[in-house]
Amino acid sequence: MAKKVNYTDEMVTVMTTMYQAAETDAERKSALTEIAEKIGRSVPSVRTKLSQLKVYVKPGAGEKTESKADSVSKAEMIEVIEPRLGLEPGEGKSLKMTTKVVLQAILDTTEPDEVALQNIADAMEKLDES
């Protein structure tokens, strides 16, 4: 007895072509619905088949904007925050226990310290001299 085929080669081609044309999560979600209607299957069935074909993209998975190598560390953020808050280097140790979101909010709401900016300018000047 021959095995029943749930998805023909033509159906698979239509599914993968339509799904891979979608670039955003919203477009992919819409594509799932359109594919299901076009081939007469349910959205969960189409999603499962696309997963088996290693074509399905989990929502949010393809939209990360920066890699770990490109991201700023908490320590680097704290180095910038400390002078803005009038702290000496190392005095903001407790800031290490907060999240990057909170640290970014502090950075966004504090102005750069004029003295720190002058120190940076002086350091750059010394580098140019050497």
What one-character-per-residue DSSP string does 42-101 give? -HHHHHHHHHHTT----TTTT-----TTTSPPHHHHHHHHHHHTTPPTTTTGGGGGS-HH
Report d(CA 89, CA 80) in Å as an integer: 10
Task: Quote the domain boundaries for residue 80.
Answer: 74-129
Task: Express each pLDDT in 69-97 by its tens digit.
Answer: 557 888 888 888 888 777 888 887 888 88
Lowest pLDDT segment from 59-73, 76-90, 103-117? 59-73
- Look at residue 15 and tell me if it is in a domain: yes
Q: Total structural domains in the chain?
A: 2
The answer as to whether 69 is a domain residue is no
Domain assignment present for 63? no
**For residues 13-41, average pLDDT:** 92
Q: How confident is the model at residue 109 (pLDDT cuts 50, 70, 90)?
A: confident
Answer yes or no: do 125 and 81 share one domain. Answer: yes
Q: Is residue 94 part of a domain?
A: yes
pTM of the full predicted structure?
Answer: 0.47
Task: Answer yes or no: is 1 within a domain.
Answer: no
Statement to judge: residues 115 and 79 lie in one domain: yes
Is 107 inside a domain boundary?
A: yes
